[in-house]
Copies of this chain bind each other. A is one copy, B any other.
Amino acid sequence: MSSGFGTLFRITTWGESHGGSVGVVVDGCPPRFPVDEAQIQAQLDRRRPGQSAIVTQRKESDLIEIMSGVQDGLSLGTPIAMMVRNEDARSRDYDEMRDKFRPSHADYTYEEKYGIRAWSGGGRSSARETVGRVAAGALAEGILRSAFGVEIVAWVDSVQELQCPPVSESVVREEVDQTIVRCPDLEMAARMIEHIEAVRKTGDSVGGTIRCLIRGVPSGWGEPVFDRLEADLGRALLSLPACKGFEVGSGFAGCLMRGSEHNDAYVADDEKRVFTPTNHSGGIQGGISNGMPILLRAAFKPVATILSEQQTVTVERENTTVKGRGRHDPCVLPRAVPMVESMVALVLMDHAMRQNALLIPH
């Protein structure tokens, strides 16, 4: 049951990278909300391989098919199944993988866990699995926007040493999409693109960080103790392929401050609306949103597939070497931006519903 996510707004994804299709069932979607196929497709297009020169050239149109749960453009409250057919699965590029484990991929661990694995294309561990997440996340995002005014914007914050300068809290997705690398600072974006292209030519890969800013979450979402908003968001992002770190608000840097510097004072304005002039908490205190923007950051390791020879073992546990072929991303970050936004939307949608369940008079 590890391909399911969420308590009330619950998704289940299916599909191997080189199987017939990848998809998702969304169970628990509230009724009578618009299901905008174009909006869902738009997020899938941002995730799609082949969208630019700096990502993998696998050719997938990734056209979404909505198979249930929608009538006349409105959600019925019943499961919404969505599917994308795989088109360009060149299994021949992967023949060597039948017998060898690619370093820092999941080939070896799947084999150790299950005693079997979809050796072609990485199976479920491929980033292709995220198609279903992004489709479901775009659906959730549409509801969060229309019902609560929530806005979610992620962007590439760093590529290896190249660090984007601080970004305005009013940043919008259009600014992020000005360049193919999805960094809203145009000068830094240009340097990042140049760097990724140089890395690609060497057959190597790079990683980096993504930031995400969420505006419009009302105070009171999230839960005490285990299902804290930051814990659920952390789990959501750490479940993305290649994600190795997560922080909220001040994060690791906050450890260098003293309490007197780090604490966010409360201030009430003339209409008794409460805010905090600083936001080291990143919009979450004690696991619950405080009405300030939520600020997240996630670390993505360099892509494991590289085009040079590496030491590894065969399925018979004999030492050997392997060399990446196939078509892969020198840098996963531009495509990971919609994945991050989608996972955030799924978490927030679930918590919005959980808060509504509390029978608190409106």
Contacts and interface: CB of A to CB of B under 8 A. Distances in A.
Contact of A267 (B147, B228, B263, B319): B319
Contact of A109 (B116, B220, B272, B319): B220
A255 interface: yes
A150 to B, nearest CB: 13
A355 interface: yes
A259 B204 contact: yes
A244 B250 contact: yes
A301 B250 contact: yes
A50 interface: no
Nearest to A69: B14
Contact of A103 (B14, B266, B317, B362): B266
B5 A1 contact: no
A31 to B, nearest CB: 4
A284 B14 CA distance: 22
Interface string A311-355: 111001111000000000000000000000000000000001111
A268 B315 CA distance: 11
A20 B67 contact: yes
A112 B300 CA distance: 34
Interface in A275-290: 276, 280-282, 284-290
A346 B226 CA distance: 12
Contacts of A104: 259, 262-264, 280-281, 285
Contacts of A289: 109
Interface in A284-314: 284-291, 299-306, 308, 310-313
Interface in A91-120: 101, 103-106, 108-110, 112-118
A178 interface: no
A244 B230 contact: yes
A38 interface: no
B244 A245 contact: no
Nearest to A355: B113
Contact of A238 (B234, B274, B312): B234
Interface stretch (A40-48, A185-193, A205-213): A205-213
Contacts of A75: 116
A23 B78 CA distance: 13
A247 interface: yes
A267 B22 CA distance: 34
Contact of A23 (B81, B109, B114, B263): B81
Contacts of A234: 231, 234-235, 238, 246
A272 B83 CA distance: 41
B108 A290 contact: yes
9 contacts: A2-B28, A7-B7, A21-B81, A31-B115, A77-B110, A109-B284, A231-B235, A244-B247, A268-B319
Contacts of A266: 101, 103, 108, 311-313
Nearest to A232: B235
B299 A252 contact: yes
A144 B67 CA distance: 31
A15 to B, nearest CB: 5
